[in-house]
Every structure is written in C-alpha cells, then in structure tokens.
Amino acid sequence: MATNLSIDPQLLELALEVSGERTKKAAVTRALEEFIARRRQKGLLELMGQLEWDRDYQYKSERSRD
C-alpha cells in the first residue's frame, strides 16, 4: 500500500546515516521495527513484580527429555 508522508528531511537523513540503510524506505522500515520492538519490551518490563513466582519450581528438572 503506497502512503505519502511528510517526514522532517533532517530526521530522515540522520536515520539513513545512523541505520546504515541505503534507501529512505529501508531506513523508515527499520525505524518502525525498532520502535515496535522497544514498545513491546517496555510492556514486558511493566509486568516486573506483578507476576507470582513459584520458589519451589525446579526449572532444571524440566529440561530433561525423558
């Protein structure tokens, strides 16, 4: 799907420079992928301390393939 966007030219040039991508499209795609990944990671970090931890769980015994 083609989309027309008005992107700050200085930001786009900087994105090209720091990403190492060769095209504007590739730089924008990478930027969006990294943005999404960071937001997902942030969501996981917000779960810290909210999940119950079973101190008796023996994770090493679950590794065996009997």
pLDDT band at 54 (very low <50, low <70, confident <90, very high): confident
pLDDT in tens, 9-50: 999 999 999 999 999 999 999 999 999 999 988 888 777 777
pTM for this predicted structure: 0.65
Which residues, 6 or more positions from 31, have their beta carbon under 8 angstroms from its beta carbon?
15, 19
Q: How far apart are CA 50 and CA 26, in angstroms?
A: 38
Say which DSSP state 61 is in: G
pLDDT value at 66 more than 80: no
Task: Assign residue 47 a region (left: φ > 0; alpha: ψ between -120 and 50; beta: otherwise).
Answer: alpha
